[in-house]
Amino acid sequence: MRRMSEREATPELPEGTYTLSQLGLELQSSLRQLYPGVWLVGEAQRPSQSGAGHLYLELVEKGRRDDVRARFAAVIFRRDLQRIVRQLKRHDLEIRGGQQLRCYVEIDFYPPRGSLQLVVRDVDAVFALGDLERRRRETLAALERDGLLDRNRALTLSMVPLRIGLVTSRGSAAAEDFLATLRASGLPFVVHLAAVSVQGARAELEVTRAVRRLAAEHEGGRRPLDLLALVRGGGSRSDLAVFDARQVAEAIATAPLPVLTGLGHEIDVSVADRVAHLARKTPTSLAEFLVQRCLVVVQQLETLRRELARSAEAALATARREVRQSEDRLRRCGATLRHRDEELTSLRRRMMRAAERSLAGRSRRLGRVAERMAAPAQRRVRAGGRQLDERGRSLARVALSRLETVGVALEARRRLIRQLDPVNVLARGFSITRDAQGRALRAADGIERGAVLRTELARGALRSIVEQCGSAAGPTETAPEPSQRSLSLVDAAREDSREP
């Protein structure tokens, strides 16, 4: 056996001991004997072609919740790859990530890396076609179940869709054809490009995000749009798998504005075409549809403009005729008015002459009446003047008599006031005594001993302190003058004679 010969080559190892290379070679030989070649199904992931022309990928089996249940590294060597690619192209297919493949493989173990890999020798193209169709039908059924299949189609497309959000690959032939058709129309289209990959591993995610971003910008008012256009050029049937993806279809169906597609495939209809508001076969045909839709409105507007112009011209012609008729009537009215004006002028002159004659006659009559009334009036005026002079002289005599009587009375009162003036009273020997509060004293009652009094004389004043106070004179005392009670004064001081 091969194992025994390898043991004999390494006699230094204990009995039953393998080297790593021996184990690797035995595994390689055993796997080739047990599995000389098998058909298996798996999802292709991360396909990548090397510089030598080999295609490296992973084959994955997923569960119901997309959890990975098994994963194997796989390789398609260059010669096998060239043959497989030719077979797939006959069915309009190619190997791409996320695609279910039925492969004929050999199981190989590579001892230097200790890795197990599957060597793909053939791919079942018929199975690939059936898997794409199965997934497409499942997606359509799910969209119909969720009420999304005809949702975008129910939206209203603008009659003049000039503001377009374009989702496509930057610089692609599809983008150039679409934009060139719009530019050639001469209409003022405004196109906002969202550049994405339309094939490859990231195409599905990029297309979904671009559609949702443009829809959100439109809905938020940042970038108002009339529609979204999703276009790409021609390609294989498997290239359309991106547009059969459920998340791309959901993004199109739930967009708040119409989404139109032109995916460049003359035969097949993708799920994106099915849920879109409108689908055209190519980007050019989609652009032509938009141009024609705008031109229809332009033509309608032009027709309406002509009809309005004709209506306006007819109305103007009618108005001109009416104006001319009105001018004729005005001219006739002008002649009538001039005739009536001449009649009024003549009548005014006659009335003026009649009024002047009437006024002249009445003026003469008034003059005669005035002459007759002037003499009696002058006599009455002169008599009234004499009466007024007499009454004036009488009033003057009475007034003078009254003034003399009043003057005598005023003089008598002036003498009385002069006699009663306090200064004159003090000059006759009287005095005024006040207490500390400035109140004039009329009796000795209530005056206490030691009280300070102020006595005002005709000339000057005295300040006194009460030493003794009595209400009447004693039997041995000489009675005071009738106008005073007796007071004993001590410490009298003459004050400034200028005080009042």
What are 371-410's pLDDT values in tens digits?
777 777 777 777 887 888 888 888 888 888 888 888 888 8
Query: What DSSP character marks residue 441?
Result: P
For the chain, the average pLDDT equals: 81
Rounded Cα distance between 80 and 57, Å, is 14
Contacts of 60 by beta carbon, 8 Å cutoff, 6+ apart: 42, 43, 45, 68, 70, 71
Q: Provide the CATH topology of domain 159-295.
A: Rossmann fold (3.40.50)
Query: What DSSP character marks residue 52?
Result: T
Task: Please give the model's pTM, rounded to 2 decimal places.
Answer: 0.45
Query: What DSSP character marks residue 226?
Result: S
Query: In this structure, are residues 97 and 201 in contact, taking their beta carbons and an 8 Å threshold?
Result: yes
Q: What pLDDT, on a 0 to 100 scale, did the predictor assign at position 130?
A: 63
pLDDT at 200 over 80: no
pLDDT at 169 over 70: yes
Query: In this structure, are residues 63 and 81 in contact, taking their beta carbons and an 8 Å threshold?
Result: no
pLDDT at 129 over 80: no
Spans of all domains in the chain: 35-136, 159-295, 427-494
Q: What pLDDT, on a 0 to 100 scale, did the predictor assign at position 329?
A: 87
Rounded Cα distance between 273 and 259, Å, is 9
Amino acid at 179: L
Class of the CATH-defined domain 35-136: mainly beta
Tally of CB atoms within 10 A around 79: 10
pLDDT at 1 over 50: no
pLDDT at 120 over 80: yes
Q: What pLDDT, on a 0 to 100 scale, did the predictor assign at position 471?
A: 57
Question: 40 pairs with which residues across the strands?
Answer: 103
pLDDT at 292 over 90: yes
Rounded Cα distance between 120 and 88, Å, is 14
Q: What pLDDT, on a 0 to 100 scale, did the predictor assign at position 131?
A: 63
Query: In this structure, are residues 259 and 238 in contact, taking their beta carbons and an 8 Å threshold?
Result: no
pLDDT at 340 over 90: no
Q: What pLDDT, on a 0 to 100 scale, did the predictor assign at position 133?
A: 65
Query: In this structure, are residues 81 and 55 in contact, taking their beta carbons and an 8 Å threshold?
Result: yes
Q: What pLDDT, on a 0 to 100 scale, did the predictor assign at position 495?
A: 41
Q: What pLDDT, on a 0 to 100 scale, did the predictor assign at position 77?
A: 92
**pLDDT band (50, 70, 90) for residue 481:** very low
Query: In this structure, are residues 283 and 177 in contact, taking their beta carbons and an 8 Å threshold?
Result: yes
**pLDDT band (50, 70, 90) for residue 155:** very high
**pLDDT band (50, 70, 90) for residue 266:** low
List Cβ<8 Å contacts ≥24 apart for 48-51: 49/81
pLDDT at 287 over 90: yes
What burial class does residue 123 get, using C-beta atoms within 10 Å of its C-beta: 0-12 exposed, 13-18 middle, 19+ buried?
A: buried
Q: What pLDDT, on a 0 to 100 scale, did the predictor assign at position 477?
A: 43
**pLDDT band (50, 70, 90) for residue 253:** very high
pLDDT at 220 over 60: yes
Percentage of the chain with pLDDT > 70?
87
Closest CA relative to residue 237, chosen from 267, 261, 200 = 267
Q: What pLDDT, on a 0 to 100 scale, did the predictor assign at position 238?
A: 59
The token pair at 277 is 């508001």
What is the phi/psi pair of residue 234, to 5°?
-70, 170
Model confidence pLDDT, tens digit, residues 343-352: 888 888 888 8
Q: What pLDDT, on a 0 to 100 scale, did the predictor assign at position 496?
A: 41
Q: What pLDDT, on a 0 to 100 scale, did the predictor assign at position 446?
A: 76
pLDDT at 214 over 60: yes
pLDDT at 50 over 80: yes
CA dihedral 433, 434, 435, 436 (to 10 degrees): -130
Amino acid at 476: T
Query: In this structure, are residues 465 and 452 in contact, taking their beta carbons and an 8 Å threshold?
Result: yes
Return the SS3 of 76: strand
Residues, the chain, total? 500
Question: 489 pairs with which residues across the strands?
Answer: 466
Return the residue matching tokens 């377009």: 164
**pLDDT band (50, 70, 90) for residue 178:** very high
Please state which of the ranges 132-136, 278-282, 463-467, 481-485 shows the lowest mean pLDDT.
481-485
Query: In this structure, are residues 6 and 22 in contact, taking their beta carbons and an 8 Å threshold?
Result: yes
> Which of 61-75, 170-184, 381-395 shows the highest mean pLDDT?
170-184
**pLDDT band (50, 70, 90) for residue 497:** very low
Rounded Cα distance between 294 and 289, Å, is 9
Return the SS3 of 188: coil
Higher pLDDT pick, 56 / 485: 56
Query: In this structure, are residues 149 and 140 in contact, taking their beta carbons and an 8 Å threshold?
Result: yes
Q: What pLDDT, on a 0 to 100 scale, did the predictor assign at position 272?
A: 87
Please state which of the ranges 209-223, 321-335, 434-448 shows the lowest mean pLDDT.
434-448
Q: What pLDDT, on a 0 to 100 scale, did the predictor assign at position 201?
A: 67
Query: What DSSP character marks residue 440?
Result: B
